[in-house]
Chain A
């Protein structure tokens, strides 16, 4: 199977502050890779390096069989879309304008979005069920709605691959489920997705591959059932966890609280 993202002996971080090294991660077409790891382990740094927003300290990132460094910015943005953590914007753009910005890589330097781009943006809003928000100001909607808008923007970017940095962080329970459902739906349409999360349940729910980043190295890499074990969670997070299979076949992790 063709690999949409592949890191080769990748060192991440900054010249005076290395964050990780020897990182080898591969994502095949149509796969959902979930990155787990404790706070500050370098998940966001790894994502930014995969996207070419940070330079690798060593090694290389390959996108679709081409080294990232050989691609101009707009070519990278046609292959891989980034969904940052839901943030507050500085200016109150309308949601539709935010989503339209996803079309930028497909526009000429001096072009503004045309009717086809509008159509794409509206389709993306519809796919995420937030058509009603099209004319709302991005600064006034809730965190969950912002996250969905950013996912819509990534869809409008029309790339085969999405990278999502903690798409469920800072969302309430309902919105977390909503976003996970969207990720499963998107994966069903053939998109490759890389996401990070703090919740191992989410990996069980939507990923077919899990990688654990700990102390700047990939500690484990493989199917969720193989990688997410009580022993490993204990060594990463320092807490005891029991992993249970529910009657409907779903797998969940439950902490065993110290009495």
Chain B
């Protein structure tokens, strides 16, 4: 390949070996993350627990099964779901500044969770409120947008998302003012910054089916999502019913995001930055972009969460860490030029 070809073709890696090695790397990371922590566990013990054999150290078994493995699994699922939904939304809205939050799913989930904390409900209800809050908010945004006819549908959708999102944000602020400052307010703040510290095994088991149900239509319709990223008019000229495909994609991505936000709280930047990186490496074809973004997101959030719980005595909320890492990286992306998008 001569120099001119290399410029035209850009730098990309072969997708299949990349995705396979990424999957292996994430698996190794997950094993490593399960070993480290306040109570280090030897690899032999971990493997015995994973295979269901008897373990000499019951404390290690309890910690692994009740705390550490659920947390590792949650980091993987949350990271994968946020990055996957982000990749879909960036294609759908043809905008690099789009994250899964664009239609207000996180703010809506935040509002639901804050309401649950405000009413001093048990954790399961707080999570359910968050999940429903996310779905309802995006539903309202979608209804508003579809009742506006004769305008660019994607633009109306984004604007409606911004407006409804800031309304939900105002209601969150109101409840913060009204909340009990010693008991409820710290819980609200902590939730809004995102954390996996209190993940229980049943949280992970509950969220995985919802993420899978959201993922299935995205995988099935991956080619149509490519076509839709050319814009409504071109997609329709190519034979795609753009409005219907968009509805399915928004519903699926919202289901994924709302269900993970319900157990993790609001974790920003993963759904914005990770899809960019994935696109730079494997290109925009959704076939490869979706698995790459999900694996990168899973590995990234696992790494950040493992640092969050091992590096300091007091745990840093995840949303703060992902912002500290994500913001400079995003600026670097901007300064570097428009790689992967135009």
Residues of A within 8 A of B (CB): 14-15, 48, 51-53, 72-74, 76-78, 81-82, 84, 88-94, 97, 101-102, 104-105, 107, 109-113, 133, 135-137, 139-141, 157
Contacts and interface: CB of A to CB of B under 8 A. Distances in A.
B342 A77 contact: no
Nearest to B229: A91
Query: Counting chain B CB atoms within 10 Å of each CB, which of A15, A74, A104 scores highest?
Result: A104
A111 B223 contact: yes
B279 A53 contact: no
Contacts of B223: 104, 107, 111-113
- Chain A interface, DSSP helix/strand/loop, else mixed: loop
A116 B268 CA distance: 42
B16 interface: no
B342 A89 contact: yes
A104 B238 contact: yes
Interface string B203-240: 00000000000000000111110110111011011111
B342 A84 contact: no
Max chain A Cβ within 10 angstroms of own Cβ: one of B95, B223, B239, B283: B239
A196 B94 CA distance: 28
Contact of B236 (A53, A113, A133, A137): A53
A124 to B, nearest CB: 14
Interface of B: 5, 7-10, 91, 94-95, 150, 220-224, 226-227, 229-231, 233-234, 236-241, 279, 283-285, 287, 340-342
Contacts of B9: 94, 135-137
B230 A101 contact: yes
A233 B341 CA distance: 42
A92 B240 contact: no
B65 to A, nearest CB: 38
A149 to B, nearest CB: 12
Contacts of B91: 91
B342 A53 contact: no
B340 A91 contact: yes
A76 B94 CA distance: 25
